Structure 1
């Protein structure tokens, strides 16, 4: 039988997804900075080397912020979601000589180019080395993504952790450059290629944010100071 502390941690993950991220959940719950929630999610050791847990007061605060009934944080809610799992088949190795399937499409993977998830660096995204990754054409179509607009690169740095760790491969839709608040984008910021959360601000300005807000402060810049390469729609990492 699971402990209440374990159940609350699982439910915190559900609330983060429902709110659209840790930062958004922190705002809804009235926390000025999301760092406290990050410490709980990451099980960061604090006093006596022990990680923080979600107490009753915090649980009630989160329930109220997300319009959940009293006691919701202490009840299991994952069973229903897990029952939706379906068998998709086995994983099969492939290389450049493997024929492309009917529902497959290959996209360029700029393996030697990294989009900074830190302070950024200068590079030309059009440098191409011949590497490619495969996506299901039907999956891209479901999300209204044209295969010819997709490129993959590597995220470098820790500013987008824990969501996008250092070394993560990310997929960029170059056909989606319109900023939607809270979404992740690949941008060229004054010659630096970066992957960041963007939010529009009054006066034709843009707020640039990192998931790792403990180490990286928000930046507000003029819209003309950045060039949106495209929206990050997919990421994958091996641990």
Structure 2
């Protein structure tokens, strides 16, 4: 059996409850940078102050969160963990979608004409990812407003690696909907990008986690129109689903 540690347990809890580290930060007050370092394995023994807040939210003990104990078979509230994984149900693109699932389409960049260098964003007719309806409801996402986006490049390291997938709530796509520091998918003149967004008096700021290589980008409202920057939606989930 795979040895549990705080990183693997926290990832399992986030997946089980269908929330992102950003949302966990908002609900617990644990700094987003701390959560990112826990998930990446850079913090292997978080402080009691932080670990207790996370454990309390998920309804598990601090020992269970640290991977030092296994939850009893009867469960331990919202954060029930199991010592063994359930059987995995295999499916492919031809497998019918269950009643409690939603097939969420991927957004992709499409070149308007070969060699033109001009792109538009559209839904893929082939690629999709399944989400439980309960998870979408839990995150306040209307089923028809859920989209998936693939992250490219190293600008969002160490949280989002190249090839990571994010779930996007297209129902929250206005500048007025921006929550400072949250992740959003944007259409930047035909380029799909995932960034932290901040509202500025004169416009918006795009921020990468990897700020050493990718400095902040500030755009005025006029530049937003000139650059054709459109917010596609708020990121409510992410994972390493490979595409």
TM tier, smaller: 0.5 to 0.7
> How far apart are the structure 1 equivalents of 2:147 and 2:199?
25
TM, length-normalised to structure 1: 0.62
**What residue in structure 1 maps to residue 92 of structure 2?**
95
Q: Does 1:79 align with 2:76?
A: no
Report the more deviating stretch, 189-198 or 168-177: 189-198
Q: Does 1:169 align with 2:156?
A: no
Report the more deviating stretch, 217-226 or 157-166: 217-226
Closer, same or farther: CA 214–122 of 1 in aligned 2, 3 Å: farther
Residue aligned with 1:214, SS: coil
1:6-29 deviations in whole A, cap 9, x for unaligned? 99xxxxxx9x9544422xx7xxxx
Residue aligned with 2:151, SS: strand
* Equivalent residue in structure 2 for 1:237, among 224, 228, 240: 240
* Contact 1:122–1:193 (8 Å) recurs in 2: no
Deviation, 1:122, is: 5.7
* Contact 2:106–2:129 (8 Å) recurs in 1: yes
Larger Rg: 1
* Contact 2:106–2:123 (8 Å) recurs in 1: no
Deviation, 1:144, is: 1.2
1:41-190 residue pairs with structure 2 within 5 A? 78-79=62-63, 81=65, 83=71, 84-87=79-82, 89-110=86-107, 113=109, 123-177=119-173, 178-190=177-189
1:118-143 deviations in whole A, cap 9, x for unaligned? xxx96322152322211101111121
Closer, same or farther: CA 127–146 of 1 in aligned 2, 3 Å: closer
Residue aligned with 1:124, SS: strand
1:43-95 deviations in whole A, cap 9, x for unaligned? 6xxxxxxxxx99xxxx9xx999x9x9xxxxxxxx9415355333473321101
* Equivalent residue in structure 1 for 2:219, among 218, 221, 225: 221
**What residue in structure 1 maps to residue 32 of structure 2?**
21
TM, length-normalised to structure 2: 0.61
Gaps of 5+ in 2: 7-20, 53-60, 72-78, 111-116
> How far apart are the structure 2 equivalents of 1:234 and 1:126?
20
For this pair of structures, how many residues does the alignment match?
180
Closer, same or farther: CA 212–159 of 1 in aligned 2, 3 Å: same
Closer, same or farther: CA 232–123 of 1 in aligned 2, 3 Å: farther
> How far apart are the structure 1 equivalents of 2:101 and 2:41?
36
